[in-house]
Each structure stands twice: as C-alpha cells, then as structure tokens.
Structure 1
C-alpha cells in the first residue's frame, strides 16, 4: 500500500519520499485514516514502528489544507513530550515531512534560555512541541495563546505519567478549547493512561498493533546473571567484540552513569554519557556524536528510553536492570528499529532476579540465559580486571589488615619523661589481685 492511498498532499508525499519512506507501517496504515477523519485516537504499537509519522503526517495535511484558503490563524497543534530529546526529535521530523509547506513549528523545553523560545512564539507558529514543565511556565507568564488549538497530542503518555507530569498535563488541558482532537501514542498502555484517556478523550478509536505489553520482535533478548562487582568487567569484555559497533547502555542513576563512563574511559572505550544533570549543549552533543557513529558507547539513564530514534544501534545493554517492565520494553526498543535486527542484553545480579521474573511474566516470554566464563555466579575465581572491584576474598584480607593497623594504633604510647622514656605497667586484672 503506497502513502498516496491516504490522500496526503503531493508536497508531503514528495517530502516523505526524500526521507526514504516507501511503504507505510502497520500502525500508520491503521492510525492515519482515523486521525485524518478527526477522531480521538489511542495508538499502541511497538517502538520503532513509525508512530511519530502516524500523527505528524495527517496533522501536516490538515494544516496544508487550511493554508490553501489563506493564512493559518494562530497556533493549531500542541504536542506534549516527556523529554527535551524527544521534543527536539519530533520537531526535526515535522520539519522533514513538511519541508515543502509553509508551516512553522517551535520547540519549548527547559534547560536552555527561554528568550529565543518566546521570540519564536511571538513571530507566530502553527505547531508547538513542548515538555510540560517549561510550557506551564510560559503559560503562566501569558507568553503563549492556546485559544486556537485544534489538536492535542500526548506522545509517550505513559512515561509522562510515570515522571509525575499529570498535574501539569491537567493544567495545560484546562487552558485548551474543549472542542479539540486528542491523540495518545505509546508503546505501552497501562491502566494510568487508560484512565487519562477516559478523562480527556471523546469516544476514542483504538489502534493496537501486537500485544499491549509486547517487546519488539526484531530484538534478540538475553540475560547474563552476573555479580554486581563483575558487571563493568563483563561490559568491557563484551565491547571487544567488533559486532558491538553502536551500543546504548542503560543505568538507573546519574551517579552510576558518571562512574561507569569513567571506568570505560580508563579502559580506552570511546564513550559518552547522557542524563538530566548534563547541560542541554552537552546532551545534544553526546546524542549527535552517538548518532553519527563518532562514539561507540552511550551511557544513559531512562531519559533516552522513550521515543528517541537512533539509527543503527546494534546493542542495548541493561547494565542496571529496570524496576518497571514497561521501561524494559522501551529501553530495548532503541535497537531493532524500522524492522532491522538488534540485540538486547541484560545484566542481572541475584538481587534483581525478582525484577527479571516480573518482566518475563509481563512480556510473556522467558529470556535466554547466557554465560561468559569468569563473569557469572558460578565462577570459582572471578576474572581479574584493573577496573573491577576487589573480589570478596580481597575485601576480607583488607579488612583484617585494617583491623590490625587499628589495633596497633591503640597500643600504649611511650611518653617522654625528662629525657628518659618509660612505659606504664599494665594494670592487673581484678581476677589476679591478691586478697588482703
């Protein structure tokens, strides 16, 4: 089925052809006609299946039809995204698909100076792509007019709820016209999103490709049951394989990302890190270098687990296993995109085996177990590496040495007394004293 069957504008068809799209994906085939018909839509599909184009293309088509009758009045479309990176990516897609259209788009997100963003709004934009926090700030300062909004899109709605954006989403929706089209797109659809849909959508049409909690079938998934102190050494060993060309490594915390990045650098791995404490310039540079293939490994928190499209990611490694099964699905979805094969590896210490079991139950499959000699729970002698933490035997030895030094420090000291040194006689214990 060609894209021309949707009735899209010829200028849009030319643009997507230049991007390299030849045939629509299943979610695009199912969702685009419903969005073009003006329905509220809930779309659930695996990551990497083209959900962004499924709502952007019909939105651009509608705006182009309005433009035929003259100037497009006001801001007509609001797209909310959970992270700056996803907001920037959506803007890039809009500009690519609408390169032959006179449609203006602005990105509103935190971490950068808001002056340039406000200037863009003053010039007039037809589509605003925003993260909730910065948008709320601009709304409260009366720097944006949302009275003409016709379409609201919540991209990665489940992630926004997990990140605690519900109060902000409610505040934003209160400022929008009641008569509007509301679209929700995500790879997973938990009960929280279903409740949100019932509150903010009117008789939505549901598009579901595959199971609601299904991992991408283009990704080969496996698990290494590895002790915590051997995880960095195992990662370094795996990265020696030339097949690991572009590797995205997920950790839970920012401090963990910093430590692991330092370890990999000391092992001469070309690595960058990406988390919320990095400046926007640092984040953009790290992501772009990884996309361009200048960096082999990108160590990141879940900030890039949702919606970020990076071509050619050969491997996703869960260095820290995710607590939430939905996060697992989104993480591994960064590889195996656009029907290309990918591989996802998870490092699971004994303490995380319960999380692994929950995830396997959630996705309905048991993940393959792999072993690498010297890096598992069954290893008699852990593999040695300069960047590894000491094995338990070494810690016990060090503890004994430290206790011995501490005891030596507590021995009675010789005190100078008129040039001569004497040591006080040890006190006799009460049990040895002679009775009078």
Structure 2
C-alpha cells in the first residue's frame, strides 16, 4: 500500500515524497484512516514504529477541513508529550509534513525562556506541542486559550503517568471543550493507562502493532553477566573491540551518567551525558553531536532519553538495569527503529538478577546470556540491595521536570511557525 491510498491531500503527499517515504508503516496504515474517520483512538505502539507521522499526518489533514480565516488563529490541536526532547521531535514532524500548509505551530517546554513562547501565542497558533508543566505555566499566566481545541493527542502516555503528570493532565483536560477528538498513544498498557483511556476516550478504536509490553522483534537482546566493579572496563572493551561508532548507554542515576561519561573519556572514547540536571542547551548540543557522529557514546537516564529519535541506531547498552521493568522496553526501543535491526546489551551484576527476572516476565521471554572471557562474575559475591533513585511517581509536585523555568536562555531549536 502507498500513502496515496490513505486519503491524504496533495500537500501532505508532496511533503511525504520529499522525505523519501513511499510506503506507510503498519501503525500508519492502521491509524491514519481511523483518525481521518474522526474516531477516538487508543494505540499501542512502541517508539520507532512511525507513530509520530501516524498521528501528525491525519491531524494536519483534518485541520484543513475547517480552515480558519485570516487573522489570529486559535489553538485547534494540542499534543502533550512527557519530555522536552520528544516535544521537539514531534514539533519537527509537524513542521516537516505541514510545510506546504498554512498552519502555524509552536513547541512549549521548560528549561528555556518563556517570553518567546508567549509571543508566539499572542500571534496565534493552530497547533501546540507541549510538556504538561510548562503548558500549565502558560495557563496560569493566561497566555494561552484552549477553549477552541478540536484535537487532543497524548503521546507516550505511559511515560507521562510514570513521571507523575496525571494531575497536570487532569487540570489541562478540564479546560478543553468536551466535543473533541482524542488520540492516546502508549508503548505499554498498564492498569493506569486503561483507567486514563476509559475516562478520556469515547468508544475508541484500538490499534496495536506489537504485542502488549513486548520488546521490538527487530532488536537482538543479550545479557553479559559481570561484576559491578568491572562493568565500565567491559563496556569500553565492547565498544573498542566492536568498533562501535554510535552507542546509547543507560544508567539509573544522573550522577552515574556523569561518572560513566567521564570514565569513558579517560578510556579514549568520546562521550557526553544527558539527564534532567543538564540545561536544555547542553542536552540539545549533546544530542546533536551524537547524531552527527562527533561523539561515539551518549550516556542517558531514562527520562532524558525520551524523544531521542535516531534512525539506524545500532547499539543500546543497559549499563544498569532499570528498577521499573517497563523502562527496559522503552530503552531498547531506541534501536531497531524504522525497520532497521539493532542490538540491546545489558551488563548485569548479581545485585540486578531480580530486575532481570522481572523484565523477562514482562516481555515473556528469556534473554540469552553470554559470559565474556576475563569478565566472568565472581560466584562468591553476594547480592546487595540497590539504593533506588527517588522515583518520579513520588516526586514532590514542585520538583517535576519542565514545571519551572530555569536560567537557561537557549531558544527553541526551530521556528515556531510552519509555513
């Protein structure tokens, strides 16, 4: 099937062609016609499946059915995402596919100056891509009016709930018109997601392109058992021996990300860390350098890695297993994207064996294990409890990401207008 069969208009087909795409992905084949029929949607789709275009394209098509007259445009579509990086990625998709259409759009998140965002709202925008915290800042300042919203999209809704945004989402929902189309996208379907869907969606069409809570079939998964104090040496050995050029490495904590990045640099491996304590400018620069290939390793925490969209990323390494099993699915979903194969390797010490069991139970498969000569774990070492990071679910309300402006003055990376 080609995109021409999906009911999209000529300006959108032209933009798709200019990106070099000819056939829709499975999520796009299913989602686009259903969204165009104006039904609510509950979609189970992992990252890398093409889900962003799956909702961006029909949204742009539906906006054209009731084009606004000249003058200041009201906000007609609201897309909520959990992180700054994902908001930027989604907004770039809006700009890319909407470049031959007259809609105005903006992206709104914390960590950057709020005044340019206020200016964009004053001039009028059709589409807003936002993180919940900064959007509520604007609502509190009365700089945005959501009373004309026709389309609401929650992207990576499971992550938003994990990050403690449920109350913020409820506050935002209370300000929207009841008569609107709702789309909810989630990589996993927890009980909390089902509860949110029941309260938000009206007789939704269910779309699933992968089995629930499973890892991508295109990702080769492997575990290397290793003692905790030998992980860094093993990681360096794997990168150098395999001549890996682009590696995304996950740690559990911000401090751990910084420390590992510094250690890899001492081993002669170019690296940068990305996490919530980094300014938005530093995060954007690190990600840009990683995509450009000027650094080989990007060390990230779970929250900071949301929205990292890199085609053909070959390697994801779990330097430390996550203490929330669903995060493993999200992590390895960074590779094996857009039809490309990828490898996800986990370095597992004795302290993490229960985490590994929980992950295998979630994905319903045993992950193959391979011991590396010279790094075999010491069988006499006893497991010790892992000091858990302060979980975002329990984060004080004034401490959540993107809820407060910071001193960083880096501007939003692209024009807030689509042409």
- In the superposition, the TM-score normalised over structure 1's length comes to 0.85
Contact 2:73 2:124 in 1 (8 A): no
Deviation at 1:241, TM superposition (A): 2.6
Contact 1:28 1:51 in 2 (8 A): yes
**1:153-178 alpha-carbon deviations (Å, 9 max, x no partner):** 00000000000000000000001111
Q: In 2, Cα distance between the equivalents of 1:87 and 1:277?
A: 18
The equivalent residue for 1:165 is 165
Deviation at 1:86, TM superposition (A): 0.3
The equivalent residue for 2:24 is 24
Contact 2:246 2:296 in 1 (8 A): yes
> For 1:339, what is the secondary structure of its paired residue?
coil
Deviation at 1:62, TM superposition (A): 1.2
Deviation at 1:71, TM superposition (A): 6.6
Alignment of 1:189-204 (within 5 A): 189-204=189-204
Structure 2 residue 135 is the aligned partner of structure 1 residue 135: yes
> For 1:321, what is the secondary structure of its paired residue?
coil
> For 1:240, what is the secondary structure of its paired residue?
helix
Q: In 2, Cα distance between the equivalents of 1:260 and 1:221?
A: 22
Q: How many residues in Structure 1 have an aligned counterpart in Structure 2?
A: 380
Structure 1 stretch 371-380 or stretch 8-17: which is displaced more? 371-380
> For 1:369, what is the secondary structure of its paired residue?
coil
Deviation at 1:303, TM superposition (A): 2.3
The equivalent residue for 1:263 is 263
- CA RMSD, Structure 1 to Structure 2 (Å): 1.5
Structure 1 stretch 267-276 or stretch 236-245: which is displaced more? 236-245
Change (3 A) 1:163 1:281: same
Q: In 1, Cα distance between the equivalents of 2:379 and 2:325?
A: 29
Q: In 1, Cα distance between the equivalents of 2:180 and 2:312?
A: 38
The equivalent residue for 2:39 is 39
Contact 2:72 2:123 in 1 (8 A): no
Contact 2:81 2:154 in 1 (8 A): yes
Deviation at 1:47, TM superposition (A): 2.3
Contact 2:246 2:313 in 1 (8 A): yes
Q: In 2, Cα distance between the equivalents of 1:201 and 1:17?
A: 33
Contact 1:47 1:216 in 2 (8 A): no
The equivalent residue for 1:216 is 216
The equivalent residue for 2:415 is none
Deviation at 1:361, TM superposition (A): 1.1
Q: In 2, Cα distance between the equivalents of 1:340 and 1:236?
A: 25
Deviation at 1:103, TM superposition (A): 1.0
**1:113-152 alpha-carbon deviations (Å, 9 max, x no partner):** 1001111111111000000001111101100011110011
Q: In 1, Cα distance between the equivalents of 2:200 and 2:126?
A: 22
The equivalent residue for 1:86 is 86
The equivalent residue for 2:323 is 323
Deviation at 1:249, TM superposition (A): 0.2
Q: In 2, Cα distance between the equivalents of 1:356 and 1:363?
A: 11
Q: Which runs of 4+ in 1 moved over 3 A?
A: 68-73, 304-307
Contact 1:219 1:336 in 2 (8 A): yes
> For 1:362, what is the secondary structure of its paired residue?
helix
Alignment of 1:302-381 (within 5 A): 302-378=302-378
The equivalent residue for 1:251 is 251
Contact 2:148 2:177 in 1 (8 A): yes
Structure 1 stretch 347-356 or stretch 301-310: which is displaced more? 301-310
Contact 1:160 1:166 in 2 (8 A): yes
Q: In 2, Cα distance between the equivalents of 1:51 and 1:220?
A: 22
The equivalent residue for 1:125 is 125
Contact 2:215 2:333 in 1 (8 A): yes
Contact 2:274 2:301 in 1 (8 A): yes
The equivalent residue for 1:289 is 289
- In the superposition, the TM-score normalised over structure 2's length comes to 0.88
The equivalent residue for 1:396 is none
> For 2:241, what is the secondary structure of its paired residue?
coil
**1:311-342 alpha-carbon deviations (Å, 9 max, x no partner):** 23110000010112211011001111111010
Q: In 1, Cα distance between the equivalents of 2:191 and 2:53?
A: 25
Contact 1:305 1:327 in 2 (8 A): no
**1:75-104 alpha-carbon deviations (Å, 9 max, x no partner):** 100000000000001011110111111111
Q: In 1, Cα distance between the equivalents of 2:39 and 2:107?
A: 25
